[in-house]
């Protein structure tokens, strides 16, 4: 079936990456429309063998007929326009944090919990980029060993802040005295343990996103998740140092076998030959890369991992398109 698709926020980093992924995955598209704010109206965006003219986002266009509307324009835009689109009978796949923890709205990583979308029409929430790569790595192990606790530190690229973050890093690399605008402190040559706003409990919004989204996706509402998120001077690609505990002691060879058999995971783990993943390995790739796999020195039920992924692709665009294609597959199942 040829699909009528709209992308809200089609001129941004993730919107453009969605266009790339739609092409690579050969999604059968009947019509494709791009929507953005007034300042981007009329801009022409290349897609396959043609150019698409960006339209202004309005309430009226959201009432038109689409099979899927992919939102990547921020929480306030989604809060206003997504319900209008859904009321008109459209399915919305939203990349913002607006709906992720809303009761009754699915928060989906297709290879983990995609089947909850069978027969569903409405808003589907795309998880936080750092959450996606972490649960992608831990979910297969949870099924075998029973996940009981997570402790993770993230090292997140500036592309997670959009073009503003990339430009600020590049400007400060050229001029170390350039004052920060996007970040609270200089990002060039620095690590900032602060992503999004702080709450009274000392955690940031980004950290609590990972806590509650992980619990929801894995259907473990009481799972202890300890998070520290750090912005690092890397253009693209998020890295995570994950420590996880389980009900049963993991076997290292079995762990590697589980990863090797899991869709979308790539093991790079041979310390003797200095084989482990970095963001350069993950750049413009859909897979989640895993290395530095090792047991806890003191607790046989503990396991440490190094997990890397392209935050614009796996952490946003690819997962959103994956939700779309998974929903189409569910329609064909009896």
pLDDT number for residue 49: 87
pLDDT number for residue 334: 58
Same domain, 47 and 101: yes
**Is the confidence at residue 186, as pLDDT, over 90?**
yes
Retrieve residue 295's tokens. Answer: 């047991």
Same domain, 122 and 135: no
Rounded to an integer, the average pLDDT of 302-320 is 97
Judge whether 191 counts as a catalytic residue.
no
Q: Which residues of 162-192 are buried (b: 16+ CB within 10 A; e: fewer)?
A: eeebbebbebbeeeeeeeeebbeebbbeeeb
pLDDT number for residue 1: 67
Same domain, 153 and 186: yes
Map tokens 């400060």 to a residue.
172
- Please write the tens of the pLDDT for every residue from 46-71: 998 899 999 999 999 999 999 999 99
**Range(s) of the domain holding residue 138:** 130-311
- Please write the tens of the pLDDT for every residue from 276-308: 999 999 999 999 999 999 999 999 999 999 999
> CA end-to-end span of the chain, whole Å?
17
Catalytic entry in 191, 194, 238, 326: 238
- Please write the tens of the pLDDT for every residue from 64-117: 999 999 999 989 999 999 999 999 999 999 999 999 999 999 999 999 999 999
- 8 in Cβ contact with 70 (< 8 Å): yes
Question: How many independent structural domains does the chain possess?
Answer: 2
Same domain, 77 and 176: no
Same domain, 237 and 135: yes
Q: Over the chain, what is the mean pLDDT?
A: 96
pLDDT number for residue 333: 73
Same domain, 90 and 24: yes
Rounded to an integer, the average pLDDT of 195-209 is 97
pTM over 0.75: yes
pLDDT number for residue 293: 98
Rounded to an integer, the average pLDDT of 225-233 is 98
Judge whether 129 counts as a catalytic residue.
yes
CATH number of domain containing 148: 3.30.360.10
Rounded to an integer, the average pLDDT of 308-313 is 97
Catalytic entry in 30, 80, 129, 194: 129
Same domain, 67 and 161: no
Rounded to the nearest 10 degrees, the angle between the axes of helix 129-145 and helix 252-261 is 120
Mapped onto helix, strand or coil, the DSSP state of residue 33 is strand
Same domain, 122 and 134: no
pLDDT number for residue 281: 98
Same domain, 79 and 211: no
Rounded to an integer, the average pLDDT of 230-248 is 98
Same domain, 117 and 262: no
Same domain, 117 and 224: no
> In this predicted structure, which of 8-17, 91-100, 132-141, 306-315 has the lowest mean pLDDT?
8-17
Retrieve residue 188's tokens. Answer: 């060039």
Same domain, 53 and 186: no
pLDDT number for residue 76: 95
CATH number of domain containing 77: 3.40.50.720
């Amino acid at each position: 079936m040829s699909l009528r698709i709209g992308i809200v926020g089609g001129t941004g980093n993730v919107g453009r990456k969605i266009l790339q992924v739609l092409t690579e995955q050969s999604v059968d598209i009947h019509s494709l429309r791009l929507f953005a704010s007034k300042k981007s109206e009329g801009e022409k965006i290349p897609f396959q063998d043609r150019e698409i003219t960006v339209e202004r986002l309005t309430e009226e266009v959201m009432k038109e007929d689409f099979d899927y509307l992919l939102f990547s324009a921020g929480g306030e835009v989604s809060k206003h326009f997504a319900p209008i689109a859904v009321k008109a009978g459209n399915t919305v796949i939203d990349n913002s944090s607006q709906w992720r923890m809303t009761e009754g709205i699915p928060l989906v990583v297709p290879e983990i919990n995609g089947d909850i979308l069978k027969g569903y029409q409405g808003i589907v929430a795309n998880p936080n980029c750092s959450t996606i790569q972490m649960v992608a790595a831990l979910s297969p192990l949870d099924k075998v060993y029973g996940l009981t606790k997570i402790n993770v530190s993230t090292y997140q690229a500036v592309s997670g802040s959009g073009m503003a973050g990339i430009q600020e890093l590049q400007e400060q690399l050229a001029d170390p005295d350039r004052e920060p605008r996007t970040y609270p402190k200089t990002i060039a040559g620095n690590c900032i343990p602060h992503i999004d706003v702080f709450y009274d409990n000392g955690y940031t919004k980004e950290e609590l996103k990972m806590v509650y989204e992980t619990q929801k996706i894995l259907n473990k509402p009481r799972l202890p998740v300890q998070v520290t998120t750090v912005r690092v001077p890397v253009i693209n690609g998020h890295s995570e140092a994950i420590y996880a505990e389980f009900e049963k002691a993991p076997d290292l060879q079995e762990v590697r076998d589980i990863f090797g058999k899991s869709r979308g995971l790539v093991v790079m783990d041979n310390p003797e030959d200095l084989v482990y993943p970095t963001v350069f390995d993950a750049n413009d790739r859909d897979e989640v890369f895993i290395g530095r796999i090792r047991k806890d020195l003191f607790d046989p039920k503990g396991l440490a991992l190094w997990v890397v992924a392209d935050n614009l692709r796996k952490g946003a665009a690819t997962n959103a398109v994956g939700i779309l294609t998974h929903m189409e597959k569910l329609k064909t199942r009896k």
